[in-house]
Chain A
Amino acid sequence: MIALLQRDMRLAMRAGGGFGLGLSFFLIVVVLVPFGVGPQSALLGKIAPGILWLGALLACLLSLDRIFALDWEDGSLDLLATAPLPMEAIVSVKALAHWLTTGLPLILAAPLFGLLLNLPEAGYKPLILSLILGTPALSVIGTFGAALTVSLKRGGLLLSLLVLPLYVPTLIFGAEMARRGIAGQVATTPMLMLAGITCGVIALMPFASAAVLRVNLR
């Protein structure tokens, strides 16, 4: 399992798609928003948590099809399937690798991007905390979508269509938590809900992902 994780991490880094691409995409979204809504600092500060959450979500979505696509094409997914490792473990490791190469850099870069969007000072802690709690769920749910569409030639658009509705609860609670933190309200309820969703999908989603992967490998 650890070997698989290391392999996936190395592949993501050397292919130049992992850290760099997702982060650059995140940056571009953040840069484009002021052009779209105008440069007023007050407005930007108000919508900053939403923009950062949406940016994280889209950056995560962008790299989803890489989770299985390469392994599918060169047949290593078939080898993994016959390895003495349950499919559930494989998809979990894949999701973890995806989070380490996409979610984690986004969390680390989020304070900087918050600065660009004039995020109020009170917002940093809840925003970062909400991203830490929420992005693992994005990766795990995304792995399910990637497993679902792996056998399709041009599955990218369909992948977004399938995965984005599944992101709705995570996005709602994540952005709500950051918003409440900025407004100085108690953010415990959305925080607990967000953590609950993340724990729930980490526990249950690998079974669904493994099931669809088995169907696709049949």
Chain B
Amino acid sequence: MSLNSLWEYANPRKFIQTTDMVLPWVTVLAVGVLVTGLIWGFFFTPADYRQGATVKIIYIHVPGALMAINIWLMMLVTSLVWIVRRHHVSAMAARAAAPVGMVMTLIALITGAIWGQPMWGTWWAWDPRLTSFLILFLFYIGYMALWSAIENDDTAADLTSILCLVGSVFALLSRYAVNFWNQGLHQGASMSLDKEEHVADVFYYPLLVCIAGFVLLFISLVLLRTRTEIRARRMRVLLARARMG
């Protein structure tokens, strides 16, 4: 099997065939890495000298928050692919990713609130980061609502793709507007790509494992949901054909 280009997977049949092979491995790997990372983080790292055991929520909070943003980015890319090249699998992947992204946003918000109660003394503050995540959550809800409101699949894919593009611009704008609007309570970034600034190594390595676990989990969920969507559409067509006689 020679792999000519990525666009081969735009063929739903090819996509199903390939994911048939890949999906079990990714799922097993996701569960394995996630369990390893969480057990490592929860039981084999020391408690922070100021935050106590609450620091351990970082192993869920940071990957969740990271994925919440990156899933929207992935939806942006797949939406662009749909608009430019009109590959159905791409639009279906965007649709499949949205609920996962929404849940990730919710995970980040809820774990943040649970951590914030003992540490900041409040469940919620109108801090820029918290607020922009809440806004991101609203964008996810609107996006999903639009998908489910339109019956024709192609129209829905077109409209949601454009909404995703416009929404990305406004989400970014909101992020900076909110920054301008209120001072932050949230600490700086826990990690960075371009700066040597991150949490202590003893927390850092299990955190990396957890992030890898979340990414794998996301991949396996999106593949699964995209396959379900492809099969659901196929079934609808078959049923329609059967009704036609």
Contact = CB atoms under 8 A, between A and B. Distances in A.
Interface of A: 144, 148-149, 151-152, 155, 158, 161-162, 164-166, 168-169, 172-173, 176, 189-190, 193, 197, 205, 208, 211-212, 215-216, 218
B142 A161 contact: yes
B66 interface: no
Contacts of A152: 149-150
Nearest to B139: A165
Which interface residue of B145, B165, B177, B178 has the most chain A CB atoms within 10 A?
A: B177
A64 to B, nearest CB: 15
13 contacts: A158-B142, A161-B142, A162-B142, A166-B170, A168-B173, A172-B181, A190-B180, A193-B180, A197-B173, A205-B166, A212-B159, A215-B162, A216-B155
Contacts of A158: 142, 145-146, 149
B155 A172 contact: no
A212 B138 CA distance: 21
Nearest to A164: B138
Which interface residue of A144, A169, A176, A218 has the most chain B CB atoms within 10 A?
A: A169
B146 A148 contact: yes
Contacts of B158: 212, 215
Interface of B: 135, 138-139, 141-142, 145-146, 149-150, 155, 158-159, 162-163, 165-167, 170, 173-174, 177-178, 180-181
Given A148-B163, A208-B166, A168 B145 contact: no
Given A151-B155, A189-B180, 6 more contacts: A161-B138, A161-B142, A164-B138, A165-B139, A169-B177, A172-B174
Given A208-B165, A212-B159, A215-B159, A162 B181 contact: no
Nearest to A161: B142
Nearest to A144: B166
Contacts of B150: 151-152
B177 A165 contact: no
Given A151-B155, A162-B142, A216-B155, A172 B177 contact: yes
B126 to A, nearest CB: 11
A152 B135 CA distance: 24
A216 B158 CA distance: 9
A144 B150 CA distance: 16
B170 A155 contact: no
A173 B170 contact: no
Contact of A172 (B142, B159, B178): B178
Contact of B162 (A168, A190, A197, A211): A211
B142 A165 contact: yes
B166 A166 contact: yes
A77 to B, nearest CB: 16
A148 B142 CA distance: 12
A163 to B, nearest CB: 9
Nearest to A204: B169
Contacts of A189: 180
Nearest to A190: B180
Contacts of A168: 135, 170, 173-174, 177-178
A211 to B, nearest CB: 6
B155 A218 contact: yes
Contacts of B135: 165, 168
A165 B146 contact: no
Nearest to B174: A168
Contact of A173 (B139, B162, B165, B177): B177
A164 B181 CA distance: 18
Contacts of B145: 158, 161-162
A194 to B, nearest CB: 10
Contacts of A212: 158-159, 162-163
A164 to B, nearest CB: 8
A193 B159 contact: no
A218 B152 CA distance: 11
A94 B155 CA distance: 23
A148 B146 CA distance: 9
